[in-house]
Structure 1
Amino acid sequence: MSDTMRPRAISNWLLFVAGLVFLMVVVGGITRLTESGLSITEWRPITGALPPLTQAQWERAFALYQATPEYQQINRGMSLGDFKFIFFWEWFHRLLGRVIGLAFALPLAWFAVRRQIPRGYGWRLTALLLLGGLQGAIGWWMVASGLSVRTDVSHFRLAVHLMTALFIMAGLIWTSLDLRLLARDANARPARLGGRVMLLLIAVALQIMLGAWTAGLNAGLAANDWPLMNGRFFPEVPVTVRTLTNDPFLIHWTHRWWAWVAAVALIVLARIARRSDRRASIAIHSAFGTQILLGIATVMTGVNIVLAVLHQAVGALVVASAAWGAHVAGRRR
């Protein structure tokens, strides 16, 4: 490795960006829970960075929102002051996306111009940058689904948006860990994702998808008792492809019980990681244990907003710790 390469510095930068993505996931959860996501009805990647600054601009933004089904069917009569509250969270969420784009693109260009990116990592960093740009388009694709006919965004598109964000965060962490190994040993090779670990991560990914569907359909409100749902183990809903993917009661039930499959997968991953790095194992156990308790508490409090936001935040930490554990399991001598 050339003396001009700076794997440690690039690794630290990627972890910082991963932290920003984590923050955006948390703000996205607040945006969803406050029903703020449809307050901005236009996608203006450049000029939209500034919120309305005059009374006329606020009235125009409010008028656009008043034309949406959400306002007409749910929020009719909302005051301009209440609109400004939900507008703020959606604007802040989008602003964070722009900040993350700059925080990634500008240092990447700096390291590239100075030829400080180790061989084999340029394409990976570029792919992460492009995926981040795609995520912005996915966000608008999601919002657009709730502006004409629906009173809410599609829960399928919400799942794509959330899972893409978490995939980007995991990719940043994985690449950062590869570069940390390279900083310690110039002959270190990137970690490899094995088939067994991939299956474990798929089990976790399915739980994240079910969580996004639950959020998108407000299915957390389907029942506030646990482990039963409204006094029953299984909801009185016919099981079909449509109900499995659209019925709030059945999706809530599936999210509850698939959590234990994901927990088993994470325990196995932690045991594999423990052979090489006990810290990764502890992180995985701590994250998913806390997440289960938060999930139960969120349900039993009727989706208390603080607990629900913590549930999404710790869910992101589960992904981060799983990426760490998978990387440890895939390291090669």
Structure 2
Amino acid sequence: MNRIFTPDRAPAVAIWLFTVAALVFAMVVVGGITRLTGSGLSITEWKPIMGALPPMNDADWMEAFRKYQEIPQYREVNAGMSLAEFQGIFWWEWIHRQLGRFIGVAFAVPFLVFVALRRLPRRLLWRCAILLALGGLQGLIGWWMVSSGLSERVDVAPERLATHLGLALLIFAGLIWTGLEALYGEETSRSPVGWSRGAALLLGAVFLQSLLGGLVAGGKAGLVYTDWPMMNGAVFPPVDWAQGGLAFLHDQGLVQFNHRAVAYGLLIGALVYAVQAWRWRLAEGLGAAAFALLGVICLQALVGVLTLVHAVPIGLGVLHQAGAAIVLGVATWNLWLVRRSQPRLFVSGPARLL
């Protein structure tokens, strides 16, 4: 009987998905540079096709510069900027958008080829289709984010930046998970529910912390309290509660406090998880994965503190954003590994973690 899709392992598909995941990681890094250099609003139009071409002559550059001069960021932040300075921020945003276009092609074309050649496992077809749709949605959300800073603000809305970053990280994690499924094939065994729950909670906490980091970045909350572990000598900063629930999105002190608090909880959770893995001597690399996750979370926390106390220099800020993607990738791999481990491989200890 002929099959339309291969039923099990597909190493070529895995290589493709991991390659696209690497490109998305690069996109996250370039996005961090774009944000930290104030470049994100330098291109004031959204042209998915024609926008792939940068200004080609002096007249085109002057027209792009004129459009930038009409938005609040130029008038209130960069008034008097030279054309050369404008070109410096323009290129970062252009590279960011161009990389997004390239990722779209790098995903869509091989996807269609694998389907046409019947090389894509049936169980992964809809996952890949959803990832493709999310990639298209990411382009729309990117413009939705940029548009928030073109008329009344000098920067983009923090919640829109967090949404844009969050979707990028969701796609990144989805690519890693689906790539692992393609590389190792289908597996029906499941680990004890406690370990799956614990690993899932850690992954969820990492993703939540990444969203909070997006709010910190979007609201420039990392610049208001640069001491640690206190916040201007206090445990909890003053909060403008007149904003109501929006304070959790827009109040700089509260946003930074929430990011710190979740970081502490994540560190404790990862430590407990790793210690339990060591105590119960989990096989199949689960213990190593647990300690790898703890290690990258500790490094990310250290980079976060250094970024804060140095008032968010570009180098450390970009490293911290890249670190968020790395931690999410390791947490995704850890959960995938836990969910595929057979109960008999848990050689000692009870079957519950949480």
- Could you say whether these structures have the same fold, taking a TM-score greater than 0.5 normalized by the shorter chain as the test? yes
Measured after TM superposition, the shift of residue 238 of structure 1 is 4.9
* Range that drifts further, 271-280 or 284-293: 271-280
The answer to whether the aligner puts 1:73 opposite 2:86 as a matched pair is: no
Aligned twin of 2:238: 236
Give the 3-state SS of the residue equivalent to 1:121 in structure 2: helix
Letter in 1 for 2:101: R
1:309 paired residue among 301, 318, 322 = 318
Measured after TM superposition, the shift of residue 206 of structure 1 is 2.0
Aligned twin of 2:145: 142
Separation in structure 2 between the aligned mates of residue 113 and residue 3 of structure 1, nearest angstrom = 9
Letter in 1 for 2:164: H
Letter in 2 for 1:188: E
**Cα distance per residue 1:124-150 (max 9 Å; x no partner):** 111111110110111000000110111
2:226 paired residue among 220, 224, 236 = 224
The answer to whether the aligner puts 1:281 opposite 2:290 as a matched pair is: yes
Contact preservation (8 Å) 1:273, 1:280? no
Contact preservation (8 Å) 1:273, 1:328? no
Separation in structure 2 between the aligned mates of residue 9 and residue 92 of structure 1, nearest angstrom = 28
2:21 paired residue among 5, 18, 23 = 18
Letter in 2 for 1:257: A
Sort the Cα spacing of 1:327 and 1:191 in 2 relative to 1 into closer, same or farther, 3 A.
Answer: farther
Contact preservation (8 Å) 2:158, 2:249? no
Contact preservation (8 Å) 1:221, 1:303? yes
Percentage of pairs with the same residue: 48
Where does the alignment leave 5 or more consecutive residues of structure 2 unmatched? Answer: 343-354
Measured after TM superposition, the shift of residue 255 of structure 1 is 1.0
The answer to whether the aligner puts 1:41 opposite 2:40 as a matched pair is: no
Aligned twin of 2:351: none
Contact preservation (8 Å) 1:31, 1:90? yes
Contact preservation (8 Å) 1:245, 1:251? yes
Contact preservation (8 Å) 1:272, 1:329? no
Separation in structure 1 between the aligned mates of residue 5 and residue 63 of structure 2, nearest angstrom = 53
* Range that drifts further, 160-169 or 260-269: 260-269
Separation in structure 1 between the aligned mates of residue 112 and residue 273 of structure 2, nearest angstrom = 36
Contact preservation (8 Å) 1:269, 1:326? no
Letter in 2 for 1:254: N
Separation in structure 2 between the aligned mates of residue 262 and residue 12 of structure 1, nearest angstrom = 31
* Range that drifts further, 188-197 or 16-25: 188-197
Aligned twin of 1:258: 262
1:295 paired residue among 304, 308, 324 = 304
Separation in structure 2 between the aligned mates of residue 191 and residue 59 of structure 1, nearest angstrom = 61
Measured after TM superposition, the shift of residue 179 of structure 1 is 1.4
Letter in 2 for 1:265: G
**Cα distance per residue 1:156-213 (max 9 Å; x no partner):** 010110000000000000011111221xxxx634989955543333322221111111
Letter in 2 for 1:297: L
Measured after TM superposition, the shift of residue 256 of structure 1 is 1.4
Separation in structure 2 between the aligned mates of residue 196 and residue 37 of structure 1, nearest angstrom = 38
- The count of aligned residue pairs is 329
- Looking at CA atoms only, which structure, 1 or 2, has the larger radius of gyration? 2
The answer to whether the aligner puts 1:205 opposite 2:207 as a matched pair is: yes
Measured after TM superposition, the shift of residue 74 of structure 1 is 1.1
Sort the Cα spacing of 1:73 and 1:218 in 2 relative to 1 into closer, same or farther, 3 A.
Answer: same
Separation in structure 1 between the aligned mates of residue 162 and residue 251 of structure 2, nearest angstrom = 15
Q: CA RMSD in A?
A: 2.2
Aligned twin of 1:188: 187
Where does the alignment leave 5 or more consecutive residues of structure 1 unmatched? Answer: none
Sort the Cα spacing of 1:111 and 1:270 in 2 relative to 1 into closer, same or farther, 3 A.
Answer: farther
**Cα distance per residue 1:221-242 (max 9 Å; x no partner):** 1122111122222212355533
Sort the Cα spacing of 1:122 and 1:268 in 2 relative to 1 into closer, same or farther, 3 A.
Answer: farther
Aligned twin of 1:330: 339
Measured after TM superposition, the shift of residue 4 of structure 1 is 7.8
Separation in structure 1 between the aligned mates of residue 4 and residue 173 of structure 2, nearest angstrom = 28
Separation in structure 1 between the aligned mates of residue 42 and residue 269 of structure 2, nearest angstrom = 38
The residue correspondences of 1:29-178 to structure 2 (distance < 5 A) are 29-178=32-181
Separation in structure 2 between the aligned mates of residue 96 and residue 36 of structure 1, nearest angstrom = 15
Letter in 2 for 1:316: A
Separation in structure 2 between the aligned mates of residue 161 and residue 61 of structure 1, nearest angstrom = 24
